[in-house]
Amino acid sequence: MTTLSLPAFDDVVAAAKRIEGFAHRTPVLTSRTINEELGAQLFFKCENLQRMGAFKFRGAFNALSKFDEGQRRRGVVSFSSGNHAQAVALSARLLGMPATIVMPHDAPAVKVAATKGYGGNVVIYDRYKDDREQIGRELADKHGLTLIPPYDHPDVIAGQGTAAKELFEEVGPLDAFFVPLGGGGLLSGSALSTRALSPDCTLYGIEPETGNDGQQSFRSGKIVHIDTPKTIADGAQTQHLGEHTFPIIRRDVDDVLTASDAELVECMRFFASRMKLVVEPTGCLGLAAARRMGAALKGKRVGVLVSGGNVDIQKFAELVTING
Ligand SMILES: *Cc1c(COP(=O)(O)O)cnc(C)c1O
């Protein structure tokens, strides 16, 4: 067995320097309406306003900017349900290297189009039949490409941690912090920043209710694998946590909670109507969990990581008008 090299907060600090001038320092927004609803003070870190529409640009750009000459020349390969694909394609273009992206057949059209628009070479696979990691590895071996997975990589984790670092630098320590959870790159990176900058903050990871492998893993102490869950939160349809993300989550996160698709839709509607923000379903996981927690947050200072805003506008309109 190879020993894992887990990233630390120092790596998040180094990542922040690498992405400076390339990634946006996204705004932290507040809402009087939600503060009154919960009797708490909420701070939304708006990664839906990040370049390419999600935090994933941070991790991808950090990882790709560490490539040596030969790696840059041959290029990068990745597999993703969408946002990581766009992040890798855009980062590769900015750094002047070729990118090949393995994407599921049912990825939102807007995400496939954006990936191609950034110059990415897209290879389609069947989400319910094929093994995307194997396809990615085969392409890497055959063409000498460097594989950058969407979450299970120290440089990706360190890059994702820069969003939480910016949040704490801007608003100071928090009592609670809600972060969406798929494979755990965002949550483990956020955990490194949280423990360094706001050590007493209660940190939660939030998953879709139908795909609570992370919750099962967190509570049982070993990585639990599940079938691809059916949920509108397509950014969190992962089947398991990573070898690198899991130990950090176990060590530094306080609990893993879930949210239902109906709760996510409710939050999409809130963001659109009250805050004028387009947030994709996965990006609503944090707020949905904070709302479910309700009274327990009274009087607290609460961070919510709004992870992304990439959703087909047609799909968005359909979702926010259901029973609306
Ligand atoms: C990828 C993604 C997540 C989950 O991130 P992980 O690092 O896989 O846990 C959450 N929200 C959005 C918008 C994403 O694109």
Phi, psi of 55 (to 5 degrees): -60, -20
- Alpha-helical (H) ranges within the chain are 9-19, 32-38, 56-64, 69-74, 83-95, 109-117, 132-143, 154-171, 185-197, 213-220, 245-252, 261-275, 285-293, 313-321
**Amino acid letter at 235?**
G
150: left (phi over 0), alpha (psi -120 to 50) or beta: alpha
Q: Which atom of ligand 1 is nearest to the CA of 180?
A: 10
Query: What pLDDT score was predicted for residue 323?
Result: 61
Catalytic residue among 183, 211, 283, 286: 211
200 within 8 A of 177, measured Cβ to Cβ: no
Find tokens 């932290």 and name the residue: 28
Catalytic residue among 11, 45, 78, 81: 81
Query: Shortest CA distance to 193 belongs to which of 213, 176, 169?
Result: 169
The tally of CA atoms less than 13 A away on the side-chain side of residue 55 is: 36
Cα of 151 from ligand 1 centre, angstroms:
8
CATH assignment of 57-147?
3.40.50.1100
Cα of 304 from ligand 1 centre, angstroms:
14
Whether the domain at 9-54+153-321 and the domain at 57-147 fall into the same CATH topology: yes
Per the annotation, the verdict on 190 as an active-site residue is no
**Per-position b or e across 18-50, b if 16+ CB within 10 A of its CB:** bbeebbeebebbebeebeeebebbbbbbbbbbb
Q: What is the mean pLDDT of each run of 10 residues along the chain (324 residues)?
A: 84 98 98 98 98 97 97 93 89 96 85 88 88 89 94 98 98 98 98 98 98 97 94 93 98 98 97 97 98 97 97 92 70
Cα of 220 from ligand 1 centre, angstroms:
22
Query: What pLDDT score was predicted for residue 111?
Result: 79
Residues with Cβ within 8 Å of 156's Cβ and at least 6 positions away in sequence, in order, are 59, 60, 62, 63, 148, 149, 150, 185
Per the annotation, the verdict on 56 as an active-site residue is yes
Q: Where are the domains of the chain?
A: 9-54+153-321, 57-147
114, β-bridge pairs: none
Helices 213-220 & 245-252 angle (0-180, nearest 10): 60
Per the annotation, the verdict on 131 as an active-site residue is no
154 within 8 A of 7, measured Cβ to Cβ: yes
Ligand 1, residues 101, 151, 307: which to mutate, most atoms within 8 A of Cβ? 307
Query: What pLDDT score was predicted for residue 322?
Result: 74
224 within 8 A of 250, measured Cβ to Cβ: no
Query: What pLDDT score was predicted for residue 2?
Result: 60
58 within 8 A of 49, measured Cβ to Cβ: no
Q: How far is CA 18 from the centre of its chain?
A: 19
Query: Shortest CA distance to 279 belongs to which of 23, 57, 47, 34?
Result: 47
CATH 1.10.220.10 assigned to domain 9-54+153-321? The reply is no
Question: pLDDT tens digits, residue range 203-257?
Answer: 999 999 999 999 999 999 999 999 989 999 999 999 999 999 999 999 999 999 9
Per the annotation, the verdict on 254 as an active-site residue is no
Q: How far apart are CA 289 and CA 262, in angstroms?
A: 12
Per the annotation, the verdict on 81 as an active-site residue is yes
Query: What pLDDT score was predicted for residue 27?
Result: 98
45 within 8 A of 28, measured Cβ to Cβ: yes
Cα of 87 from ligand 1 centre, angstroms:
12
Q: How far apart are CA 253 and CA 271, in angstroms?
A: 26
Per the annotation, the verdict on 142 as an active-site residue is no
Query: What pLDDT score was predicted for residue 250?
Result: 97
Both structure tokens of 102: 């393995």
